[in-house]
Amino acid sequence: MDDPNLAARTETSSPPEKERVWPAGRLEAMPIRKLPDAPPSIHLLGPTVFLVALGVGMGESYMWPRLVLVFGPDIRWLFLIGVTLQAVVMLEMARYAMATGESIFFGAARVFKPIMWFFFVVAVLVYIWPGHLSAGAAALEKITGIPWTVSACVGLILVGVLFSLAKVIYNLLENLLSILIGLLVVSTAVVAAMVGTWGDLTSTVTGMFQFGYFPAQAMSPEWFPIIVGSIAFAGPSGMQQMWYTLHLRDSGAGMGAHIPKVRGLRHAGEEEKMPSRGFMFDTDDKAELAKWKGWRRWVTFDALLLFWGITMLVTVSFTVLAQSASRTSPDVKALIESGEREAALNAMSDAFASAGGPVLGGVFLGFIALIGLNATLGLFDSFSRGQADMTYHFVPGAKRFRMSHLYAGFLWGVITFGILILLFGPADGPGAILDVLAFLSTFAMGAYCVVLLLVNNRMLPEPIRPKLVTNLIIGFGAVFYLGMLFFSLFKFGVVVG
């Protein structure tokens, strides 16, 4: 998004004579400032691109097609629930970020600081491992012959250099990811149009409305944890929704317009001073509330059409492709069921090749590589952004650095660690703690639902707090994620798969 709110930010340099503030929690109160005007009409360009880049991954292209082949299309109602829940979570994350210009991590600290530190530690434990690079890089190896560790290491360094040279990192990434996601969506639609059939599509779509369908086999220790993992991975998983609040802020949405943007290392000197807290607008002013409604409309469009729509499109298309592939080559069904991800992806590619010519096999692997690239770009930026934000505001003495320096420190730290692990260690993390990492990733999702309830209902002024229905849905999310996680753990002794 352009920076339409420069005037709004300039206002912060000349605060009113007697400053009004909004006290929230035990941390510094938020000064009242003007809420900028919302974009003039429903506008397409927004930070949802980051959430789509992070969210459309293995869950959509592999895990759900796999479940459909094993249990039939009717199992997809669980996907519908998972993605719809994530769309509501996205809207609620946006509520706090747009109202205050603060990240959800800052909001959590306003409620109780240890909650924020919990997320800081979870992010380090879960997201420093470079395993997420492997599927995309392996697909690239299949197409080009370049060993995947080489392309992964080169890719890591390129990402670091690119982000360090950028003037404003958000603008660079939004432009880049928008093109990549746009191409992914357009190409997916074209390939699905060429390969799929009416029957595949109707069974995939109607399967989404078979609420309650749960075959006995799904309740086994082998499959239940996989289903739980697949629901958690429907759309953005782990902490990806929390990072969205930082992207929303840097895009200048709502009160984020009052916060300076994070710059690349080369341009760190040009960064304006980061305020020590966010801002609030006057919720007693009807004109301000009208602007707020405009912002809510804008983000709702983003959540429903771009996030929900694109996630649905990609997963429906991949499921149609998987059904088509399994019909052409029965071997692919056995391979996909067996759980060998790389073998299954290659088999799906071969099946597409035999169904519609070599072009389709290549297209499929190209998609997997593209999805991997999008996720890696988004993940490295998001991780560094989140950790830098928490460090800057809550580690004593960190404010002597600029936010851009802290960002660069975390970025190059995770890149260096990633290269070392790719060359010498286990890419997904040590085998002994894999279960712990999977547990933490899903636990964080239940935990952020609880945080959202607390932050939006206690830290925001009453006129802009969520309605009862929204609270019930987010409460359901907390019970859903945590309940399934602990049920799987206690009933089968296994965390998510």
Partner 1 sequence: MTPIRDGLRKEAVPGAFVGLAAGLIAGGLAALVGQPLGWALVTTVALGLPLGAFGGVFSLLVAAGRLPAGRFAPVALFWLVAFPLARLVHEITLGLALTGQFRVPADLAGFLAYQGIVSLGWAIGFLWLHERIALRLRVRATASR
Which residues contact partner 1 (rule: CB under 8 A)? 41-45, 143, 175, 178-179, 181-194, 196-198, 201, 205, 305-306, 309-310, 313, 316-317, 353, 357-359, 361-363, 366
CA distance 393 to 494: 37
Q: Smallest gap, in angstroms, from Cβ of residue 70 to partner 1?
A: 25
Q: Which is nearer to partner 1, 21 or 190 (CB)?
A: 190
Q: Smallest gap, in angstroms, from Cβ of residue 65 to partner 1?
A: 16
Any idea how long the chain is? 497
CA distance 4 to 39: 9
| Cβ pair 37, 291 in contact under 8 A | yes
* β-pair type (21-22, 30-31): antiparallel
Q: Smallest gap, in angstroms, from Cβ of residue 247 to partner 1?
A: 17
Q: Which is nearer to partner 1, 197 or 220 (CB)?
A: 197
Q: How far is CA 432 from CA 143, 154, 177, 339, 428, in A?
A: 33, 28, 35, 20, 11
Q: Smallest gap, in angstroms, from Cβ of residue 288 to partner 1?
A: 25
Q: Smallest gap, in angstroms, from Cβ of residue 89 to partner 1?
A: 21
Q: Which is nearer to partner 1, 371 or 419 (CB)?
A: 371
DSSP state of 30: E
Q: Which is nearer to partner 1, 42 or 395 (CB)?
A: 42
Q: Smallest gap, in angstroms, from Cβ of residue 403 to partner 1?
A: 27
Q: Which is nearer to partner 1, 42 or 334 (CB)?
A: 42
CA distance 402 to 392: 8
Q: Smallest gap, in angstroms, from Cβ of residue 242 to partner 1?
A: 24
- What stretches of 425-467 show up as alpha helix (H) in DSSP? 434-458
Q: Smallest gap, in angstroms, from Cβ of residue 53 to partner 1?
A: 12
- Which tokens in the block code for residue 329? 């080559």
Closest CA to 258 of 244, 242, 243, 276: 276
Q: Which is nearer to partner 1, 356 or 429 (CB)?
A: 356
Residues 6+ apart with CB under 8 A from 283: 289, 292, 461, 462, 463, 464
Residue with tokens 């998972």: 82
Q: Which is nearer to partner 1, 147 or 357 (CB)?
A: 357
CA distance 41 to 171: 21
φ/ψ of residue 205, rounded to 5: -75, -45
Q: Which is nearer to partner 1, 120 or 352 (CB)?
A: 352
CA distance 476 to 467: 14
| Cβ pair 70, 321 in contact under 8 A | no
Closest CA to 407 of 379, 377, 382: 382
Q: Which is nearer to partner 1, 371 or 484 (CB)?
A: 371
Q: Maximum CA pair distance of the chain?
A: 75
Q: Smallest gap, in angstroms, from Cβ of residue 353 to partner 1?
A: 8
Q: Which is nearer to partner 1, 343 or 359 (CB)?
A: 359
- What stretches of 57-168 show up as alpha helix (H) in DSSP? 58, 64-71, 77-100, 104-111, 113-127, 134-144, 148-165
Q: Smallest gap, in angstroms, from Cβ of residue 301 to partner 1?
A: 8
